[in-house]
Amino acid sequence: MDDSRTYAFEGTTPTIDDTAAVSRDAVLVGDVEIDAEASVWPGVVCRGDVDPVRIGRYTHVGDNATIHASSLADRVMVGHGAVLNEAGVGEGALVGFNATVNAGATVGAQSVVAAGTVIPDDYEVPAESFVRGVPAEITPLEETTIDPESIFEEYATGEYTDLASRHEELFE
């Protein structure tokens, strides 16, 4: 059966775990792998052409995000409209609405990228950091009151998982 969400690139077709929720309005091109219990919402584009796209277990990619040749570890949240271009995001990290993570940049595990932040090319965000601004400025999470685990628990394992199960038509 044809899947209107997926497009082959040079003979490689995206793979979606049976337990993942991928909107019928998402576009997956080439070497893209969506792991178990992940959710990919409407308007998301995942393009695995110059390098693969990997979406880890329990990772949620919000509406209209663009993921190009990037790897998202397990339990990552990507906000609406975010752009990740040839980047890596560590386990448990949160990337805010309309943030941009440029080529070669990495976001460390359990880090929080604020909405609208621009992370320059080849920039390394250490684990457990809070990143904000244009260009990005880093503050260790221990110097803030931000708890990425509680945010993930509230939204990713709570709200987004619940919403995905309630949006039957969106994820047919």
165, containing H or E segment: helix 161-166
Q: Is residue 81 one of the residues assigned to a domain?
A: yes
Q: What is the residue-level pLDDT of the chain in tens, covering all 172 positions?
A: 468 899 999 999 999 999 999 999 999 999 999 999 999 999 999 999 999 999 999 999 999 999 999 999 999 999 999 999 999 999 999 999 999 999 999 999 999 999 999 999 999 999 999 999 999 999 998 899 888 888 777 766 666 677 777 777 777 6
| CATH number (domain holding residue 71) | 2.160.10.10
Q: Is residue 37 one of the residues assigned to a domain?
A: yes
User: 129-132 and 137-140 as β-strands: parallel, antiparallel, unpaired?
Assistant: antiparallel
State the Cα–Cα distance between residues 144 and 111, nearest whole angstrom: 12
Q: Is residue 62 one of the residues assigned to a domain?
A: yes
Q: Is residue 111 one of the residues assigned to a domain?
A: yes
State the Cα–Cα distance between residues 93 and 73, nearest whole angstrom: 8
Q: Measured at the alpha carbon of residue 143, what is the angle toward residues 140 and 149, in degrees to the nearest 5? A: 70
Q: Is residue 170 one of the residues assigned to a domain?
A: no
What sign has the CA pseudo-torsion 153, 29, 108, 57?
A: positive
State the Cα–Cα distance between residues 55 and 159, nearest whole angstrom: 19
The whole domain housing 72 covers: 6-165
Q: Is 94 exposed, middle or buried (0-12, 13-18, 19+ CB in 10 A)?
A: buried
State the Cα–Cα distance between residues 43 and 1, nearest whole angstrom: 22
Q: Is residue 39 one of the residues assigned to a domain?
A: yes
Q: How many domains does the chain have?
A: 1
